[in-house]
Structure 1
Amino acid sequence: MITGWDRLGTRTIAPMRLYADRPVLRTRQLTADLLLLGWALLWVLVARAVHAAVLVLAEPGVQLESLGRSIGDTMGDAAGVAGDVPLVGDDLSSPFRSLGESGDGVAGAGQGLQDAVHTLAWVLAVALVVIPVGWALVRWATWRLGWAREATAAGGLDVELLAARAVATAPLPALAGLPTGTGAAWRAGDASAVRALADLELRRLGLRPGSEAGVDGAQLR
């Protein structure tokens, strides 16, 4: 929002403009907004597909973990049975316990592979959303929010300031399209020349002529 003061010293607040009054620019703005949403949705879908595809790589890790746990459980049971043999139980169960520990190691390696694949899947998914959508969002915000700030500020300016702005920044072809002598008339304070220049600036912003502040001397703060 833009705040200002009228000639009576009352503080005024102009609502933020989001869209232009003129159909051509408003259509471009709406199109840009929809394209941004579509672009974001597209990359979210791509990220979901890539995430699912990368998770397929975790399947060998699942099988490896299952194999390791199976070996560990089997060797653990065998070690228990061998340990029950009198006198030589400890010696007989020792190899089985070693194999069981190896199976647990294999299971741990399988789990580690799954964790690595899951991490990779999430990193790729996030990157596929953040990078392209962030790039588009920056470009969109630079144009859309920049316009919104200028258009909102223009709504709080009087015609004299808008005319001065047009004289300083309007493209030369646009100024050349004004009636001959407009510049001299503006310097002399001619109301029609001031109005013409102010309308030129409003048209540049896609606003309707006469949409500026109706109180002379409004100042932005």
Structure 2
Amino acid sequence: MQLYAHPPAQRTRQVAADAGLLAWVLLWVLVARAVHGAVLVLAAPGLAVEDLGRSVAGNMGSASGAARDVPLVGDELSAPFDALADAGASVSGAGQAAQDAVGTLAAVLAVVLVALPVGWALLRWLPWRLGWVQEATAARTLLDGTPDLHLLAARALATAPLPRLAALPAGTGAAWHAGDPAAVRALAAVELHRLGLRLPGDGPTRAKCGS
């Protein structure tokens, strides 16, 4: 797989784009983490309410138990304390529900803060980057072993900008049609130049590790 172009300038742009995407993702992960922690602070009142309700329920439950031990009138004496214990349990449940709501809000905000900006960046980066990798890998496959320069030359004739073709020596198209190796090589070089690749034998030896 061809991951980066051969010319240093194009390779630098690709590496910078990849590093920029990673930095962008890391930035928004850190922002989401900070926002998540800040929102969770809002759960403190709910925690206090839960603790208060639990404390009231516990104390009233103990008082109810003690009142129930009073002979003859124990049940009547314990009834108000049981009611207060139930009320305390309800307050504790409300405090827990408030904490759950804050936790959900914090999680949703964190996900949105990561998903939206990172998704926007990926939609711009993936087609450009993966499209280049796919085309460059296919071109490299044509160059491996016995290079099939005729396909690359035909691709250049079909898709290269006219100014780029016009810059070639006069008669290159006719020479390519006649099978002239020099014309085939010149046209193949146009297509490979667009991808940032080199013809076999041109410049430094091509790397074999996808760089």
Segments of 5+ residues of structure 2 without an aligned counterpart are 143-147, 203-211
* Equivalent residue in structure 1 for 2:85, among 100, 113, 131: 100
Give the match for residue 170 of structure 1: 160
Offset from partner CA, 1:41-90 (integer Å, 9 cap, x none): 00110110011011011111101001101111121122122222222121
**Cα distance, 1:211 vs. partner?**
7.2
Give the match for residue 197 of structure 1: 187
Taking every aligned residue pair, what percent have the same amino acid on both sides? 67
**Cα distance, 1:135 vs. partner?**
2.8
Give the match for residue 209 of structure 1: 199
Give the match for residue 152 of structure 1: 137
- Name the one with the larger helix percent: 2
Give the match for residue 44 of structure 1: 29
Distance 1:56 1:173 in 2: 62
Q: Counterpart of 2:184 in structure 1: which amino acid?
A: V
Distance 1:148 1:71 in 2: 66
Hey, which bits of structure 1, 4+ residues long, moved more than 3 A? none
Return the TM-score normalized by structure 1: 0.84
CA contact (8 A) 1:82 1:89 kept: yes
- Alignment of 1:66 with 2:51, yes or no, is yes
Return the TM-score normalized by structure 2: 0.88
Which deviates the most, 152-161 or 27-36?
152-161
CA-based RMSD: 1.5
* Equivalent residue in structure 1 for 2:171, among 157, 163, 181: 181
Give the match for residue 208 of structure 2: none
CA contact (8 A) 1:155 1:211 kept: no
Give the match for residue 11 of structure 1: none
Q: Counterpart of 1:115 in structure 2: which amino acid?
A: D
Distance 2:155 2:141 in 1: 13
CA contact (8 A) 1:25 1:206 kept: yes
- Name the one with the larger strand percent: 1
Distance 1:211 1:119 in 2: 61
Give the match for residue 12 of structure 1: none
Give the match for residue 22 of structure 1: 7
Say if 1:88 and 1:211 are closer, same or farther in 2 by CA, change over 3 A: farther
Give the match for residue 115 of structure 2: 130
Q: Counterpart of 1:207 in structure 2: which amino acid?
A: L
Q: Counterpart of 1:63 in structure 2: which amino acid?
A: A
Distance 2:140 2:73 in 1: 97
